[in-house]
Amino acid sequence: MKTSALKSDYGIEISDVDVTQASKTTLDEIVRLLNAHGAIVVRNQDLTPRQLVDFTKLFGKPANNPRKEFTVPGEPDVFLISNKVVDGKPIGDLDAGSGWHFDMPYERLPGFCTLLYAREVPAEGSDTLLADLCAAWDDLPEDRKEELRDLVVHHSYAQLSALKGTRLTAEHRKLLPDVFHPLIRKHPYNGRLALRPCAGGSKGILGVANPEGIDLLKELVAFVTQEKYIYAHKWRVGDLLVWDNNCTLHRGTPFDREKYIRLVLRTWIQSPEEHYAAA
């Protein structure tokens, strides 16, 4: 297995390994690299949906997606992002996140890591952008850190659904009530602090009237997504990209849907209880 940095100390590119054949020592090292560096790209993998789920389990327990219509038949933990149409029906979600966000902010236990595995990629466009939230926090002046340190963000699945124009079922309403998460996230393993604002689907900041609360979130998203904090992943077929939502915001970018096909499989891990109990 070979490794190299994606962007200074954020992210590691991994090559010359087949994750379905790798030893336990190698797989443990892959998990360590993600926990230490916030993101990994494992190149040139050839995986079935089941093998993707097996790899996902290295990082924790795969979580189901609240939207069942685009999961792989027989593999409810594998979600499809695609513009492919089979028998007149879209097989995947066209647009799984065009604005900056971390995954599952609307859950009491938000997303821990997210895995995207590319089977078909457009020749241009569709980069996935990752923002290094620990570097952004580290760069803030001390007085600004003090102002932000104890702020709590109000997240709402209902609001996110309205924003995306997706259907909100009675079950979603019952299972996903509004939740509140600290703006500053302490990493459960390495202890680093991350500035983690999420504006889409947020109702604001506790104790701060709107529009000031929402405006502050938008300002902070703009701050953490400056070019100097971004790694832009340019996809190749067989790429397996994993990022840690504790210290990363991400977003997709457009491509020409008339000209190209994109087919990406996604799995994700919800944060275990202990990650939030320890915060």
Q: How far is the CB of 13 from Fe ion (least distance, A)?
A: 21
Q: How far is the CB of 129 from Fe ion (least distance, A)?
A: 11
Give whole-number Cα distances, 49 to 3, 74, 78, 263, in Å. 25, 9, 7, 13
Is the Cβ of residue 95 or residue 124 nearer to Fe ion in the bound state? Answer: 95
Q: Which residue is nearest to Fe ion (CB)?
A: 97
* CA–CA gap between residue 250 and residue 98 (Å, rounded): 9
Cα torsion 78, 79, 82, 85: sign: positive
Burial (0-12, 13-18, 19+ Cβ within 10 Å), 274: exposed
Q: How far is the CB of 196 from Fe ion (least distance, A)?
A: 13
Residue 178's Cα: distance from chain center in Å?
20
Burial (0-12, 13-18, 19+ Cβ within 10 Å), 34: buried
Is the Cβ of residue 97 or residue 197 nearer to Fe ion in the bound state? Answer: 97
Q: How far is the CB of 266 from Fe ion (least distance, A)?
A: 8
Q: How far is the CB of 26 from Fe ion (least distance, A)?
A: 28
Is the Cβ of residue 55 or residue 102 nearer to Fe ion in the bound state? Answer: 102
Which one, of 228, 217, 211, 251, lies nearest residue 136 by Cα? 228
* CA–CA gap between residue 192 and residue 267 (Å, rounded): 25
Burial (0-12, 13-18, 19+ Cβ within 10 Å), 152: middle
Is the Cβ of residue 17 or residue 114 nearer to Fe ion in the bound state? Answer: 114
Q: How far is the CB of 132 from Fe ion (least distance, A)?
A: 16
What is the contact surface with Fe ion in residues (CB under 5 A)? Answer: 97, 103
Within a 13 Å sphere around the CA of 135, how many CA atoms are in the beta-carbon half? 21
Is the Cβ of residue 97 or residue 213 nearer to Fe ion in the bound state? Answer: 97
Which one, of 171, 147, 145, 172, lies nearest residue 159 by Cα? 172
Is the Cβ of residue 17 or residue 235 nearer to Fe ion in the bound state? Answer: 235
